[in-house]
Amino acid sequence: MRGIIDLNCDMGEGFGHWTLGEAADEDLMALISSANIAAGFHAGDPNSMDRVVKLAQQHGVGLGAHPGYNDLQGFGRRYIRTNAEELVNDIVYQIGAIREFGRRHGIPLQHVKPHGALYMEAAVNEELSQLMVDMLRKTSGEAILFCMGMSKTYEVARSMGQPVVREFFADRDYDDNGSIVFARKVARPDPEAMAEKCLRACTEGVVRSVTGKDIEIEFESICFHSDTPGALENGKAIRTKLIENGITIAPAATVLENLA
């Protein structure tokens, strides 16, 4: 059983006057321990970054950069064909934006979590994962990299000595290999069923796949998405269920320290 776990959510995913999802960042921030803040390529703008980074500082939430493909129209969930070096340069640019807003508000960069299609591409692209981790080793050696456990990203980060956290996705389905089933649109889930799914993963180390098979899953952080319908209710249900069952929710850096 996991006695301590991180709870993370993607935040600041609007642009200018447009917002995505039903829940306000202010309400979600009170529920989580790590925030993945959109850095301007798939969503987000300087004003939203400043606002959400400040919220993270006020709530004692771990600050994360959430870089994605340069794809505002597709919300970073469309695959863009380009080379790994260009993608890593885009990631550097986006991390820099979040880091500087963090410095402005006195909160250090805790982690980096690629977004959407970029996250899934890194999971299977060893060259991209190697370049990305090499960049982090040189620019952000203390930053934790968030990824799936069964991914090239995790293998590379471990081999190169970069701090890394594996995620469990509360609002995504899993295939029999332990990978999430990538989706551009997600139906409104049952918050209580989602919370039970997370509790079972924490206490039994398994998740039910789309074929009905129980598969083993290892992770240090639970993710739910702010653009999933009912995100606020989902987050509340997960947080309540974990705490009621004696599981402490803490930022990813604290979880890693506890496991060391």
pLDDT tens, residue by residue, 38-50: 999 999 999 999 9
Q: How far is CA 153 from the centre of its chain?
A: 14
Helix or strand (DSSP H, E) at 5: strand 4-11
Other Cβ atoms less than 10 A from the Cβ of 83: the count is 11
Contact 65, 90 (CB under 8 A): no
pLDDT at 19: 81
Residue 18 β-bridge partners: 15
Among candidate residues 81, 111, 75, the one with its CA nearest the CA of residue 226: 75
Q: Residue 160 class from Cβ within 10 Å (0-12 exposed, 13-18 middle, 19+ buried)?
A: middle
Residue 15 β-bridge partners: 18
Residue 4 β-bridge partners: 248
Question: String of b and e for 39-56 (b: at least 16 CB within 10 Å)?
Answer: bbbbbbbeebbebbbbbb
Contacts of 219 (CB under 8 A, 6+ apart): 5, 149, 165, 166, 167, 168, 201
The structure tokens 């004003």 sit at 47
pLDDT at 184: 61
Helix-helix angle 46-59:84-104, to 10 degrees = 60
Q: How far is CA 200 from the centre of its chain?
A: 20
pLDDT at 187: 78
**Domains of the chain, first to last:** 4-259 (3.20.20.370)
Rounded CA-CA distance 117/184 in Å is: 9
pLDDT at 176: 93
Rounded CA-CA distance 71/44 in Å is: 11
Contact 88, 128 (CB under 8 A): yes
pLDDT tens, residue by residue, 78-108: 999 999 999 999 999 999 999 999 999 999 9
Q: Per-residue pLDDT for the chain (260 aa), expressed as one digit of tens each?
A: 789 999 999 999 999 888 877 779 999 999 999 999 999 999 999 999 999 999 999 999 999 999 999 999 999 999 999 999 999 999 999 999 999 999 999 999 999 999 999 999 999 999 999 999 999 999 999 999 999 999 999 999 999 999 999 999 999 999 998 988 876 667 788 999 999 999 999 999 999 999 999 999 999 999 999 999 999 999 999 999 999 999 999 999 999 999 98
Q: What is the largest CA-CA distance in the chain?
A: 48
pLDDT at 210: 93
Look at strands 206-208 and 214-216 and give their pairing. antiparallel
